[in-house]
Structure 1
Amino acid sequence: MSDQPTYPPKPRPGDRVAVLSPSFAGPALFPLPYELGLRRLREEFGLEPVEYPTTRKLGASPEERAADLHAAFTDPSITAVLATVGGEEQISLIPYLDGELLRSHAKPFFGYSDNTNLLDFLWRHGVVSYHGGAVMTEFGRPGALHPLTEASLRAALFDGGEFDLREAEDVSTELGRWEDPATFEQLPASEPGTGTYWHRSDRVVEGVSWGGNLEILHWMAAADRLLPVEAYAGCVLVLETSEEMPSGTEVYRMLRNLGERGLLRQFPAVLFGRAMAWSFEQPNDAEQRAEYRAEQRAGALRALDAYAPDTTAVFDVDLGHTQPQQVIPYGGRIRVDGPARRITVTY
């Protein structure tokens, strides 16, 4: 990856944008957040979403999903590509993608979670993409977009330039069920934000970003989808975990395994998203959520102390599986200013 990343041209209000399901066709089972997301794209962002054959097709093959991606990127009337949601099947899609085709028709791609596979694929072909901004989760948030999320999305989609990440004053915790219309009649429950936690913050680090969802990165490593570790030297590592809520021990083990590969020491700085600490299977109260996040942070610090003791780390950043969510350029430049406690991304 070049130290001078290439940013695809940005869409403008009135443009057509592709809405795809490169992993799980969530709109087929959960139309309510999807249709809300489409409506907000049209009415609040002035964009015209365009569906493709597999956007709502459950069980679409990797070849079919790859064909939709190729079609969206090569269509000259499409100016950006947005994922509907994540999933768990995208790792099987990657072998069917034409990297040169996507590079030569580069467009901004937005997605996260299982879309880490595609973000990484675009990264290794020199295309800056965007970690965040899925249609069902961010655009389809019940009640309204969070103001921090909306500001970040607008800057990443339309404006470009530098953008300082802000700390949220309030964060959403519990989720409503997507199949229940009552979920979308009010804002999600929230609690006061607790700010970020800085570790080894005596320096300023700047580099292009790489990373994504930690569980998916671990799958990618098992599938031998990572480059030689030297390819990541000097990058800012961006990590977050999913609604499956891996324990602090699991986080340590996944990071330890990447450390044994020699990967962790390549990154002078790492940003950890605020861990999702509530699910329908684990409806943690406020104290349990705080304990879970502290355990996960301890697991990560244990791995960093062993494999990357000089790395600057920032925890509980508003990125990934969290609300509000701020978009992170994937392969774009990030400056982590420890003394000023400031994170600046370039959209």
Structure 2
Amino acid sequence: MPTPSYPPKPSPGDRIAVVSPSSGLPGLFPRPYELGLARLREEFGLEPVEYPATRRMGATPQERADDLHAAFADPEVKAVVASIGGDDQITVLPLLDRELLRSCPKPFFGWSDNTNLLAFLYDCGVVGYHGGSVMCELGRPGAMHPMTAESLRAALFTSGPYELRPAERWNDVDRDWADPATFESEPRSRPGGGWSWINADRVVEGRSWGGNLEILSWLLMADRAIARDESAYDGGVLILETSEELPGATEVFRILRCMGERGLLRRFPALLTARAKSWSFERPNNPQQAARYAADQRAAVERALRAYAPDTMAVFDVDFGHTDPQLVIPYGGTVRVDGPARRITVTY
């Protein structure tokens, strides 16, 4: 497997592809989508280019793969960003032209179900970017979160180190996209507690891999976008986050246990775990229930590490998953985790 390299960056004024490799939710919820497109134009100076399946629910895997091929092959398009996630992008992977994506590398931005494509690009030797969807981060009600906007801008336009920092306030309670009142004000937030560390007695610098834990479990089951020689992950930084489906602590432990039995966990000397999303429309946890859910999830991760990777340095509550704000993590790019200094620096 080739070592991932950074594709060229866009500049203000460039065209940027907006695709829906998972779900065509822009067709159902146009408000956050149109808001995200407007911010790409007005705040980032980019010109979004849509494709046939971008706003269409029920597009076939082949149609979504065709959009990706067109976006990567177009020399006028300088980056590709996902509209949102979903749950079946794994069906698109077998249809992708690996050589096309390798020979026309472009920065790809997405997260959640887009873990599929990020891992595929990693396997092609292309650095991607975990974060920055159109509907969620760019289409945030009221305004983009300043930390999200700063991180996304740096990842889009600059190359070099960028230091992450803990959010002073955060949110994971969603509001109804179908209700116009949702977009009249910014989401409420609550105080953040900073990061917490385990085995923080060393410095680890390596290439990142991972993403959404549930999607990783599917990729491992289907044996897709996983390196045949898993030693390719040695010395890397594992990034993990969980979704709005709120997997239970037992499920989280069992997935990590399987990764441990496979020998994956011990290959990564450092782990970044995202702040757990602890609320959903289906499970509207009150603050006490949400805190217990997050604590149980952390305990599950720690249990798996004790069993399979006891020396791994771990950082908890990093803002890069399904919570707000969201920091962009280069996928396959360099991440430096400095335990003694309690600092995390990524290279965009």
Q: TM-score range by the shorter chain?
A: over 0.9
Q: CA separation in 1, counterparts of 2:15 and 2:74? A: 10
Q: Which residue of 2 aligns with 1:241?
A: 242
Amino acid at match of 1:96: L
In the alignment, the residues of structure 2 paired with residue 142 and residue 119 of structure 1 have an alpha-carbon distance, to the nearest angstrom, of 27
Q: How many residues align?
A: 346
- What residue number does 2:170 align with? 171
Taking the TM superposition and a 5 Å limit, the aligned residue runs for 1:52-201 are 52-201=51-200
Question: Matches of 2:158 and 2:220 in 1, distance apart?
Answer: 34
1:344 is aligned to: 345
Match of 2:278 in 1: 277
1:203-232 per-residue CA deviation (whole Å, 9 max, x = no partner) reads: 100000000000000001110122233221
**Corresponding letter in the other structure for 2:120:** F
Cα distance in 1 for partners of 2:61, 2:185 equals 37
Distance in 2 between the 1:212 and 1:165 partners?
17
Residue identity in the other structure for 1:174 = V
> Is it true that 1:19 corresponds to 2:18 in the alignment?
yes
1:322 positional shift: 1.0
Contact 1:112 1:213 in 2 (8 A): yes
Alpha-carbon shift at residue 89 of structure 1 (Å)? 1.1
TM-score between both structures, scaled by the size of structure 2: 0.98
- Deviant stretches of 4+, over 4 Å: none
1:173 Cα deviation from its structure 2 partner: 2.9
Given that residues 40 and 138 in structure 2 are in contact (C-alpha distance below 8 angstroms), is that contact kept between their aligned partners in structure 1? yes
- Aligned residue for 2:320, secondary structure, equals coil
- CA RMSD, Structure 1 to Structure 2 (Å): 0.9
Q: Are 2:299 and 1:298 aligned?
A: yes
**Distance (Å, rounded) in 2 between the aligned partners of 1:165 and 1:285:** 29
1:123/1:330 contact within 8 Å kept: yes
Partner Cα distance (1:81, 1:35) in 2: 17
* SS class of match (1:321): coil
Mapping for residues 317-336 of structure 1, pairs under 5 Å: 317-336=318-337
Q: Which residue of 2 aligns with 1:286?
A: 287
Residue 314 of structure 2 is matched in structure 1 by: 313
1:56-79 Cα deviation digits (max 9, x unpaired): 111111111111101101101100
The answer to whether the 8 A contact 2:269-2:312 is kept is: yes
**Where does residue 41 of structure 1 map in the other structure?**
40
Once residues 173 and 121 of structure 2 are traced to their aligned partners in structure 1, the CA distance between those partners, rounded to angstroms, is 33
Distance 1:223 1:2 in 2: 22
Unaligned runs of 5+ in 2: none
Measured in 1, the distance between the counterparts of 2:301 and 2:140 equals 29
SS of 2:285 mapped into structure 1 = coil
- Find the residue that maps to 1:56 and give its secondary structure: coil
Structure-1 separation of matches of 2:235 and 2:303: 21
Percent sequence identity is: 66
SS in 1 for 2:7: coil
Query: Distance in 2 between the 1:220 and 1:233 partners?
Result: 19
Q: Indicate if the aligned counterparts of 2:84 and 2:110 stay in contact, CA closer than 8 A.
A: yes
Deviations 1:130-166 (A, max 9, x none): 0000000000011111111011001000112100001
For residues 159 and 151 of structure 1, the distance between their equivalents in structure 2, rounded to whole angstroms, comes to: 11
- TM-score, with length taken from structure 1: 0.98
